[in-house]
Amino acid sequence: MKNLRLKSARAAKDLSQDDLAKICGVSRQTISAIEKGDYNPTIKLCIAICKALDKTLDELFWEE
């Protein structure tokens, strides 16, 4: 399942996939795969992404 909330939050902060990847210490391809729904990140990476985007785990990763 695509993570459009992550993509939207990243865009709202005016960050590229590469920018977010550098902040979180991963590759741009990892961020791309998460947004496409092709990769299930670790909880540690989820938390790093949430901190970088000022969002909660629920806001970005909870499936409704």
pLDDT given at position 64: 73
Higher pLDDT among residues 25 and 1, named by residue: 25
**Which residues constitute the domain of residue 46?**
4-57
Does the residue 37 lie in any domain? yes
3-14 b/e with 16+ CB inside 10 Å = b? Answer: beebbebbeeee
Tell me the per-residue pLDDT of 42-60, one tens digit each, with 9 for 90 and over: 999 999 999 999 999 999 9
Confidence category of residue 63, pLDDT binned at 50, 70, 90: confident
Does the residue 62 lie in any domain? no
User: pTM higher than 0.85, yes or no?
Assistant: yes
Alpha helices in the chain (DSSP H): 4-12, 17-24, 28-36, 43-53, 57-61
The total number of structural domains that make up the chain: 1
Say which CATH number the domain at 41 has: 1.10.260.40
